[in-house]
Amino acid sequence: MHAPGQPHSLFKHLNNENFHPYALLFSFLFSVVLFLKFLLHPLQLDLLMIIQAFKLIFS
């Protein structure tokens, strides 16, 4: 456990100047895609279809 009043180790890691700013975004999107893949598994959606949907959303 972290000490009271001290930032969590995650925020210390995020404040590290060597931390790549897109790493958190990519890991978040990757986890979202995996979650959607798991959630929509009965529909047998292909991972490429989900990626194309993301491209449509963010383009």
Does some domain include residue 57? yes
Residue 12 lies inside a defined structural domain of this protein: no
Please provide the DSSP assignment of the chain as one string: -PPTTSPPHHHHHHT-TTS-HHHHHHHHHHHHHHHHHHHTGGGT--HHHHHHHHHHHH-
Q: Between vectors from CA 59 to CA 54 and to CA 14, what angle results, nearest 5°?
A: 70
In a domain, 43, yes or no: yes
State which residues form the domain around 53: 35-59
Predicted pLDDT at 51? 80
What residues in the chain have per-residue pLDDT under 50? 2
Position 23 scores a pLDDT of: 79
Task: Give residue 18's pLDDT.
Answer: 59
Q: Look at the pTM and tell me if it is higher than 0.75.
A: no
Q: Which residue type does 47 have? A: L
The domain tally of the chain equals 1
pLDDT value of residue 4: 55
